[in-house]
Amino acid sequence: MEVATDEPFTPIKQDTKKGKLCYYPYNINWNYGLLPQTWEDPSFANNEVYGAFGDNDPVDVVEIGERRGEIGEILKINPLGALAMIDEGELDWKIVAISLDDPTASLVNDIDDVEKHFPGTLTAIRDWFKDYKIPDGKPANKFGIGNKAANKVRVQLLLFLESYSFG
């Protein structure tokens, strides 16, 4: 499911590519959504991430809490870190977060806490996003920042920059 950013009222609907419905070949074991009113600028080259340009979509969020969210549900989250995915040459940030309502939310305050309290989760997220297009004959996605997750401070800066239009 995707937000149709090119349609009035930006409805949530099944994603399509070249007129065909998109399906994921693997299960997603977390909540996947976006930050409303954000935008990954396709005219801005990020030098920290191989000079990749934004993917012209809202910033994505991977929420790692234990409760499965509903389509369209709005969650209050604590951003913990981010993965800088390069998808077909475009930068597609994946904010790793936890719902403030999750019973474990008080245990995780930064990306380093994720591995401690949710062992293997960051690797699973990175591997899923790296490989999910391979069954369609596309190459594996890459990740910037040394294939590691950016910490909370970098995420807060990213969200600040994504929230404002300069120029």
Q: Tell me the backbone φ, ψ of residue 93, rounded to 5 degrees.
A: -60, 140
Whether the Cβ atoms of residue 78 and residue 100 lie closer than 8 Å to each other = yes
**Active-site annotation holds for 26:** no
Count of CB atoms situated within 10 Å of the CB of 55:
21
Whether the Cβ atoms of residue 82 and residue 149 lie closer than 8 Å to each other = yes
Instruction: Find the catalytic residue in 23, 24, 26, 50.
Output: 24
- For 83, the token pair is 């993965």
Which residues carry out catalysis?
A: 24
